[in-house]
Amino acid sequence: MSEGDRPESPGGAAVRKLGRAQGPFAGGMRGRANPFLRRIFERLAQPMARRPPGDVGGARQIVSVCRALLSELGEVSGTRLATEALAMYQALEPQAREKFFDHLVDDFSADPVEIEHAADAYRRAPSPSALKKLQTAVESPRQELFRRLNLAPGGLRILLDMRRQLLTTLDRHPAREVIDSDLSHLFRSWFNGGFLVLQRIDWRTSAVVLERLIQYEAVHQIQGWDDLRRRLEADRRCYAFFHPALLEEPLIFIEVALTRGISAEVQPLLDPRSAVVDPTVATCAVFYSITNCQEGLRGISLGNLLIKQVVDDLKRRFPRLKTFATLSPIPGFRQWLAGVNGSKGGPHVSAALGTLLAGVDLDAGFPDKTVSPALREEISRLCAYYLLHGKHGKIPLDRVERFHLANGASLERLNWLGDTSPIGTRRSLGLMVNYRYRLADMERNHEAYASNYTIVASRELERMAKQALLP
C-alpha cells in the first residue's frame, strides 16, 4: 500500500531534495566508499546492548538512518533501513525517545521559504505544474519518512505505537502536534473503509483474538472466559474491524444483544448465567458496548462505518429486526453534577440532593431504596439537561454522546439504574441512555450534528431538560 503510493506522492521529490541538501547523500549508490553511509552501517552493525541505557545519542543514530532512508539509497534498500530504524526506535529509553520526537519536528519539517516561493509562483501563474511544486513544498519530509518506515515487517503496528506514545506528550510539547498531524493524515488513508475487513467474532474465533477482546473491553469488563462465551452465544453478536497488515489485532469491536425490546438495564445483558433465547424472534438489536482497541488510532473515525455494516449484516440475517439502539453509559454526568451551582440561567441542585450526593458510597452502588421519587425525578431531569445542554462551547461534554451523535443517532430515553455496578454509580449514579439509530434519519442527523452540533432528541428528553430549569 505505502510502497505503491510512494512514487506518486508529492513528498517524494521533497525528500530527495532534502537528501541532496544534506551533502553526504548526493552520491546515492555511487558511494560504496561513501564514508557517511559506511559510518551508518557500522553503527547499525553494533549490538544494541553496547549502547548505554538512556543515551540520547541513540536518537541521533536513528535520525541518521532516517536520513539515509529518505535518500536515493533508501529507495533501493528501504525495507532494510526501515527495519533497522524501527528496531532502534523500539530500543530507545524514554529520554532518548523524547529527543527523537524533537528531531522529527526540527529536522523533518517542510521548509517555509520553499513553501513561500512555491506559493508565489502558483499565485503568479496557477498552472498544474506550479500546483504540483506547491504540493511538494507543503508536504513535510516526515510523511514520506513514515511511508518508508511502513515498508518494514510489522511497521504499521510500530507506527501506531509511536503515535500512542506521542499523544501522551502533546500537552507538554505542543510543537509535536505537527508529527501527530502527519501520522493522522496517513492513518486516515491506510485505515479507510476499503482496507478494513468486518468479521463476526464467535467461540470458534482464534484464541488470540478472544484474549484480546478480554484485554481491550473498555465499557463493561469481561470477567473471564465464561463471561466472554455468554457474550458470543446465539442471541448475542460481536463484530470487529481488522486490517490486513495487523492480523488477529482488532481495531474496534461492537457487542450486540438481540432482544424483543430496547433494553433499559445492562446487568441482565451481562449475566453469564442468563438463558439463551431464540434470536429469530428478536425485534431489537441493542449495542451495549463499543470499544476502540488502538490508542494510536484516536480521532480516526471507524465507528460510523462499523455500525452501518453491522446493521446491514443483522438486517440481512434477522429480517424481523426493526429497532437498532444502544444502551450506553453517561461517563461525565456525575462529575458535571458535582459542579452544578445554580448559576443564572442554569439548573440547580436541591439541598436534599446535595446531602444525598455527599453521602453516596461509590463502591457500594447507588442506594436506590433511600431515594425519594422527588429526588429520582430531579436527578433524571438534571441528566437530561446535561445531555442536551452540557457543552464546551458548542460541543457536548459527554464523550459517548459525541460518538453516537456524530454517527447519526438520536437521544431516545433515560434509564434509571440502568447500570447498578460501582462503576455505573461512579460514572452517572447508575443512569444509562438509549441512543437510537433510525436508518432513514442517520444521514440527516449526522449532517445536522457535523454542521452545527445539533442534538436530535425525543420530546420526553427535551421536556425533562426544560423542567431542570424550574425552581
Exposed / middle / buried, residue 451 (Cβ in 10 Å: 0-12, 13-18, 19+): exposed
* Residue 328 among the catalytic residues: yes
Report in angstroms the alpha-carbon separations of 133 from 115, 141, 364. Answer: 9, 14, 64
How far, in Å, CA of 221 to CA of 400, rounded? 17
How far, in Å, CA of 373 to CA of 166, rounded? 49
How far, in Å, CA of 148 to CA of 219, rounded? 36
* CA neighbor of 366 nearest in space, from 379, 347, 381, 382: 379
Q: Determine which one of 140, 263, 404, 410 is catalytic.
A: 404
What is the per-residue burial (b if ≥16 Cβ within 10 Å, else e) of 4-20? eebeebbbbbbbbbbbe
If DSSP codes are grouped into helix, strand and coil, which group holds residue 328? strand
Task: Tell me if 250 sits within 8 A of 161, measured CB to CB.
Answer: no
Q: Determine which one of 64, 263, 328, 428 is catalytic.
A: 328
* CA neighbor of 183 nearest in space, from 165, 205, 163: 163
How far, in Å, CA of 88 to CA of 67, rounded? 14
Exposed / middle / buried, residue 22 (Cβ in 10 Å: 0-12, 13-18, 19+): middle
Please name the residue ranges forming H helices in 91-140.
94-107, 112-124, 128-138
What is the per-residue burial (b if ≥16 Cβ within 10 Å, else e) of 218-251? ebbebeeeebbebbbbebbbbbbbbbebbeebbb
* Residue 404 among the catalytic residues: yes
* CA neighbor of 111 nearest in space, from 185, 188, 20: 20
The grid cell for 176 is: 509535536
For the annotated catalytic residues, the residue numbers are 328, 404
